[in-house]
Amino acid sequence: MEKLFDSIKRGMDEAIAHSHGEQGAVCVYHPRQVDVKTVRGKTGLSQEQFASAFGISVATLRHWERGDRKPHGPALVLLNAADNDPGGLLKILAKG
């Protein structure tokens, strides 16, 4: 039980240090912004098909493509993957 507590405490200490701007063992991934319309073009999908494949609404996709809004979080990670390997990602998504 002591090892578990020490591990949790170490994780909390790292998180607190990171929240105060300290460099440490925490690694933060910041995906790059992508041109969503260009990414969709690489897939060859229509807006409706692309939105369905990615589990988003067509309205959200249109906002991203116009630049009214920017994707973030897991959506941005998926869009980066689609930008790097559109065919590979579509194969993975189709298996779901």
Boundaries of every domain in the chain: 1-29, 36-95
Q: How far apart are CA 72 and CA 58, in angstroms?
A: 16
Rounded to an integer, the average pLDDT of 8-36 is 84
64 by Cβ neighbours in 10 Å (0-12 / 13-18 / 19+) ranks as buried
The CATH topology of domain 36-95 is 434 Repressor (Amino-terminal Domain) (1.10.260)
The residue to which tokens 């992508």 are assigned: 34
CA atoms within 13 A on the CB side of 53: 21
**What global pTM score does this model have?**
0.70
Q: Tokens 């809004």 identify what position?
A: 69
**Model confidence pLDDT, tens digit, residues 43-93:** 999 999 999 999 999 999 999 999 999 999 999 999 999 999 999 988 888
